[in-house]
Amino acid sequence: MDAPGVQAGHGEHGGRNAAAAAAAGTRLDPWFAAYAERAHGMRASEVRSLFAVANRPEVVSLAGGMPNIEGLPLDFLAEMTAKLLRERGTRALQYGGGQGEEELREQIVEVMRYDHVHAHPDDVVVTTGSQQALDLVTEIFVDPGDVVVAEAPSYVGALGVFRAYQADVVHVAMDEAGLVPEELDRCLAELKRQGRRVKLLYTVPNFHNPAGVTLTMERRPQIVEICRRHHVLVLEDNPYGLLGFDADPMPSLKSIDDDGVVYLGSFSKTFAPGYRVGWALAPHAVREKLVLASESAILSPTMMGQLSIAAYLSGYDWYGQVKSYREMYRERRDAMLSALAEFLPEASWTVPDGGFYTWVKLPDGLDAQAMLPRAVTNLVAYVSGTAFYADGQGHDHVRLSFCYPTPERIREGVRRLADVVRAEAELVRMFGTAPQPSRPGETVEFPSPDQV
Amino acid sequence: MDAPGVQAGHGEHGGRNAAAAAAAGTRLDPWFAAYAERAHGMRASEVRSLFAVANRPEVVSLAGGMPNIEGLPLDFLAEMTAKLLRERGTRALQYGGGQGEEELREQIVEVMRYDHVHAHPDDVVVTTGSQQALDLVTEIFVDPGDVVVAEAPSYVGALGVFRAYQADVVHVAMDEAGLVPEELDRCLAELKRQGRRVKLLYTVPNFHNPAGVTLTMERRPQIVEICRRHHVLVLEDNPYGLLGFDADPMPSLKSIDDDGVVYLGSFSKTFAPGYRVGWALAPHAVREKLVLASESAILSPTMMGQLSIAAYLSGYDWYGQVKSYREMYRERRDAMLSALAEFLPEASWTVPDGGFYTWVKLPDGLDAQAMLPRAVTNLVAYVSGTAFYADGQGHDHVRLSFCYPTPERIREGVRRLADVVRAEAELVRMFGTAPQPSRPGETVEFPSPDQV
């Protein structure tokens, strides 16, 4: 039997795309010519193999966004889960409704009160992590060529989703106080003048990934008002909101304009990611579409995960656990900042009040992407700033995460990074290499969990 | 603050779509004009509220596709899961890789040996139920307007996915021996002549949902050869394959042509749906795209679910459990068939050798969709045949499932259905009502877990 690829030149699609298919090597992929247009943008990042190396224990990874869940009460969870399976096993192991369990949605409403949100459980959709919520919102709003406005820089996993739906991402500047309202207003006015269809403002107001900054209270109603005036839906992504080091959360954008905001939440950072449970809170008609889209994608979210999290929220001092996470991450943030001050004074960085990340500007002339292989060789890993832009920016930045390694390892990682930076600066001085902007879109890649 | 909807007439999108938006009631949905084109096809089925009623205990539901998992060893699962959390909790509750755990993928390879598939774990992608695999395959292959060829009738959840990606579904006839090769060949040739881009043949070869038939051994290589000749990828969906009542599974299409088939599998029917774990086995280059698409959609599948299922497969006689499921479902199938023979001899039906469903042709002149409210009033529920076609067919059929109710309840349900059918026939005789084909596409709806 011949493989289909051998016949590609004779088939309809093969014939039409014979040249392209041959060029791309149909021998390697007999289905190359059959992919949807959106799939041609899906390719593994070149740094994936590098990150495989970076996961070796001898490498200090300041790249990953994995929470440190060592502090979880495993004995409690073991007892709780055994009880759930014994007493409600046939329910926990069955299909559930597409919107998610009411019991959990009611608890999610309580969790969101910390963000000053007063919601109804009927407006909540439980999803496979908040990543699926991001995917579903994009699915129901974004046609190819539509514009999504996003912070500069933005979460790599969101850029991957927007790219999968063939959106054009337009970045708007941030500063230490978060997204800049005047820049947003100017950008939306300009896009309107160009006749572009702007569908979403995607924003992470609290402890931004990767920038580490938080939108100030003063700017929150301004951002909401600008979007309302331009009739642009706000997609507020808030995975880290409860992980502030110094204060309780500020009012979310959702709490300021219920009709104009879809809010995304997650248990991955406040509890654990292993059940893949997140949610969206949306205006009612939007929520209906989200449920339909989710049913099409996965039928229903995991009952076992939902009932486990519901049991944890009701049976354990979950907010006490959040507080202990805060202390742990604060200590790591401190270790990161003091190591940066000690070893890398020639760089500059943001000072996060919560979350997992700081955003570091390299000394002039260095290229974060070009430097990465040498960093990994020197047993330290980071994510190049280029991952967080859809337009080729970011070569002069790196994202450093302080969530997973211990304070001692963080210090050691920054020390190694400083060595790499100095060696790289020496190279630049000798050979005059300077950062080159990539072609727009070229550096956006689908996230691997290592980079989130 | 005005709601955005009030300003719809002034905004860019509002202005452009003002008439449509007004007609559709922007007061109810201020974001109506902002939806993507694909979202306009997403709407709740009219029968949803009916199914909410159908879930009441007094109604015998022959509608749902929920497996009966009463036979699961809950005490064993409780102990096993507690041990997993105590000993490997920080791994089970963490993010995993986007492709899924190697440990589980190796076991999935063993499971697929029953379908005569010899695969490598590297070609397996673990997904959020096989529904997500279906969604991902469609995402990477189907552009709007592309054709997906599917059996007549087809799984409602697959039709929902194809619709979400704006595919045109073309149905090909089945008979008691499954998909008819000559009809498939003729259909693909005709589509080629029309210049259509045919991307997939979607097929459920074993214990078809909803038709209850199985593709014969003789036809399997014929179907594969026809698709290879037309360079059409086969999407083989096999959730029920291990649930045959009389014999071990026949060789899957995947085992006949590895390069030309993407195979979808699921633990939902052979174990339980509650963890939402399924998989795709795909040619290598396709598998790479599937992983990237899945990472974009959900980052990674549930570690807790994957490790739990891995522990169940390695620690329990899971195939013994499958055998006891078979006996249980066989008894229910027998109850269904004998009740049909006793109470509804004026109908005809398929005789399934496995799985969950039989496909019943109503007496002439009856309309399954129109009759459904009266059936629910008479305390029995089914799924109208119209749900399983993208082109308005199916009014003369109902799908009856025998998976969930007890044999006694099945018998009672069929008895009630027979009463409804006879009353309906009387109405038709008196008033001459006859089935009306719907407009194509109108009756395809997103599946609710009740209907899967």
Four-point Cα dihedral A269, A275, A281, A287, nearest 10: 160
A131: chain B residues, CB-CB within 8 Å: 297-299
Q: Mean of the pLDDT values across residues A29-44? A: 87
Q: Give the HSE-up count for residue B303: Cα atoms under 13 Å, Cβ half-sphere.
A: 19
* ipTM of the modeled complex: 0.91
Cα Rg for chain B, rounded, in angstroms?
Answer: 23
Q: Distances from the Cα of A40 to the Cαs of A37, A164, B145, in angstroms? A: 6, 9, 18
pLDDT value at residue B12: 36
CB B385 within 8 A of CB B393: yes
Q: Which residue of B has its CA nearest to A444?
A: B296
Q: List per-residue pLDDT tens for chain B, 452 residues long.
A: 333 333 333 333 333 444 444 444 455 788 999 999 999 878 776 567 667 777 788 999 999 899 999 999 999 999 999 999 999 999 999 999 999 999 999 999 999 999 999 999 999 999 999 999 999 999 999 999 999 999 999 999 999 999 999 999 999 999 999 999 999 999 999 999 999 999 999 999 999 999 999 999 999 999 999 999 999 999 999 999 999 998 889 999 999 999 999 999 999 999 999 999 999 999 999 999 999 999 999 999 999 999 999 999 999 999 999 999 999 999 999 999 999 999 999 999 999 999 999 999 999 999 999 999 999 999 999 999 999 999 999 999 999 999 999 999 999 999 999 999 999 999 888 887 655 544 444 433 444 555 55
Kindly indicate the confidence band of residue A169, based on its pLDDT and cuts at 50, 70 and 90. Answer: very high
A142: chain B residues, CB-CB within 8 Å: 36
For residue B28, give every residue at least 6 positions away whose Cβ sits within 8 Å of its Cβ, in sequence order, or none.
Answer: A285
Test A28 with B285 for CB contact under 8 angstroms.
yes
Q: Tell me the shortest Cα–Cα distance from B195 to chain A, in angstroms.
A: 8
- Mean pLDDT for all residues in chain A: 90
Q: Which residue of B has its CA nearest to A69?
A: B90
Test A302 with B143 for CB contact under 8 angstroms.
no
Strand ranges, E, within A28-152: 60-61, 124-127, 147-152
Runs of H (alpha helix) within B236-355: 253-256, 284-298, 303-315, 318-343
| pTM of the model as a whole | 0.91
3-class DSSP assignment, residue A281: strand
3-class DSSP assignment, residue B126: strand
What's the CA gap between A295 and A17, in Å, rounded?
35
Test B128 with A276 for CB contact under 8 angstroms.
yes
Which is it for the CA torsion A268, A271, A277, A283, positive or negative?
negative
A42: chain B residues, CB-CB within 8 Å: 140, 289, 292-293, 296
Test A74 with B97 for CB contact under 8 angstroms.
no
Structure tokens given for B234: 């086969």
Q: Tell me the shortest Cα–Cα distance from A325 to chain B, in angstroms.
A: 15
- Amino acid at residue number B138: T
Test B231 with A14 for CB contact under 8 angstroms.
yes
Test B74 with A95 for CB contact under 8 angstroms.
no
**Of B17, B68, B93, B135, which to mutate for an interface test with A (greatest number of A Cβ within 10 Å)?**
B93
Test B34 with A81 for CB contact under 8 angstroms.
no
pLDDT value at residue B450: 52
* 3-state secondary structure labels for all residues of A350-416: CCCCECCEEEEECCCCCCHHHHHHHHHHCCEECEEHHHHCCCCCCCCEEEEECCCCCHHHHHHHHHH
Q: Tell me the shortest Cα–Cα distance from B342 to chain A, in angstroms.
A: 32
Strand ranges, E, within A197-315: 198-203, 233-237, 261-266, 278-281
Q: Tell me the shortest Cα–Cα distance from B97 to chain A, in angstroms.
A: 6
Q: Tell me the shortest Cα–Cα distance from B397 to chain A, in angstroms.
A: 23
Higher per-residue confidence, A239 vs A441: A239
Residue whose entry in the numeric block shows the structure tokens 């805060």 = A326
A376-390 pLDDT per residue, tens: 999 999 999 999 999
CB A105 within 8 A of CB A126: yes
Q: Tell me the shortest Cα–Cα distance from A220 to chain B, in angstroms.
A: 15
Q: Mean of the pLDDT values across residues A225-229? A: 98
pLDDT value at residue A18: 43
For A78, which of B43, B86, B94 is closest by C-beta distance? B86
Test A197 with B12 for CB contact under 8 angstroms.
yes
What's the CA gap between B365 and B367, in Å, rounded?
7
pLDDT value at residue B28: 79
CB A446 within 8 A of CB B136: no
How many beta-carbon pairs below 8 A join chains A and B?
342
Four-point Cα dihedral A269, A272, A277, A283, nearest 10: -20
A85: chain B residues, CB-CB within 8 Å: 74, 77-78, 81
Q: Which residue of B has its CA nearest to A227?
A: B4
